[in-house]
Amino acid sequence: MVKSEIEITAKYLGIQFDNLKQQQEAATVGMWIFLATEVLFFGGLILAYVVYRSTYPDIFDQAGKEFNLAIGTTNTVILLTSSYSMALAIHAVKTERNNRAANYLALTWFLGLIFLGLKAYEYYDDIVRQVIPKFPQEYPIPSSNTSSILYLIYYTMTGLHALHLTIGLGVIAVIF
Partner 1 sequence: MNQKTTYLNAGTTIKSWLLTQDHKRIALLYLISITLFFFIGGAAATVIRLSLMTPESTLVTPDTYNKMFTLHGVIMVWFFLIPSIPTVLGNFLVPMMIGARDLAYPRLNLASWYIYILGGIFTLAAIVAGGVDTGWTFYTPYSSMFSNSYVIATAVGVFITGFSSILTGLNFIVTIHQMRAPGLTWFRLPIFLWSLYATSIILVLATPVLAITLLLLMLERVFRIGIFDPALGGDPLLFQHLFWFYSHPAVYIMILPGMGVVSELIPCFSRKKLFGYRFVAFASIAIAVFGFLVWGHHMFVSGQSVYAGMIFSLLSFLVSIPSAIKVFNWTATLYKGQITYSTPMLYALGFIGLFTIGGLTGLFLAALAVDVHVHDTYFVIAHFHYIMVGGMVSAYLGGIHFWWPKITGRIYSEWWGKLAALFLFFGFNLTFFPQFILGYLGMPRRYHSYPPEFQVLHVMSTLGASILAVGYILPFFYLIMSLRYGAKSSNNPWDATGLEWQTESPPTKHNFHTTPTVTLGPYDYSPVTGGFIPQGVQNG
Partner 2 sequence: MNSRFSWVPEQASTIAGDVDRATFELMIICSSILILVFGLMLFFGIRYRKGSPHSREIRGGRDQQIEWGWTLTALTLFIYIFASSSLIYFHLYSPPPETSEIMVVGKQWMWKFQHPNGKRELGELHIPVGKPILLTMTSQDVIHSLYVPAFRIKQDVLPGRYSRAWFQATEPGIYRLHCTQYCGTMHAKMGGSIFAMSPSDYLKWLQTEINLSSFESSAGDQIIGPQVQRLTMASRGGRLFTKLGCISCHGFNPGVRAPSLYGIFGKPQGLSTGATAIADENYIRESILNPKAKIVQGYDPVMPSYVGLVNEEDILDLIAYIKSLEGTPTSESVNGPQELTALPSPPPLRSYP
Contact between 150 and 64 (Cβ < 8 Å) = yes
The reply to whether 14 sits near partner 2 by the rule CB under 8 A is no
Residue 137: phi and psi, rounded to 5, are -90, -20
**60 near 52, Cβ under 8 Å?**
yes
How many whole angstroms separate alpha carbon 53 and alpha carbon 59? 8
16 counts as binding partner 1 under rule CB under 8 A: yes
- Binding to partner 1 in span 22-61, by CB under 8 A: 22, 25-26, 29-30, 33-34, 36-38, 40-45, 47-48, 51-52, 55-56
Residue 146 touches partner 1, criterion: CB under 8 A: yes
Q: Residue 33: name its binding partner from partner 1, partner 2, none (Cβ under 5 to 8 Å by kind).
A: partner 1
* Residue 138 in the binding site for partner 2 (CB under 8 A): yes
Of 71, 67, 70, nearest to 126 by C-alpha is 67
159 binds, among partner 2, partner 1, none (CB under 5 to 8 A by kind): none
H runs (alpha helix) in 13-146: 20-55, 57-64, 69-94, 98-128
Q: Which of residues 26-85 bind partner 2 (CB under 8 A)?
A: 55-59
CA 39 to chain centre: 12
Measured from the CB atom, is 160 or 169 closer to partner 1? 160
Measure the CA–CA gap between 47 and 111, rounded to whole angstroms: 29
Contacts to partner 1 from residues 83-142, by CB under 8 A: 133, 135-136, 139-141
Query: What is d(CA 128, CA 66) in angstroms, rounded to the nearest whole number?
Result: 12
Closer residue to partner 2, CB minimum distance, 60 or 109: 60
**Which residues contact partner 1 by CB under 8 A?**
14-18, 22, 25-26, 29-30, 33-34, 36-38, 40-45, 47-48, 51-52, 55-56, 133, 135-136, 139-141, 143, 145-146, 148-149, 152, 156
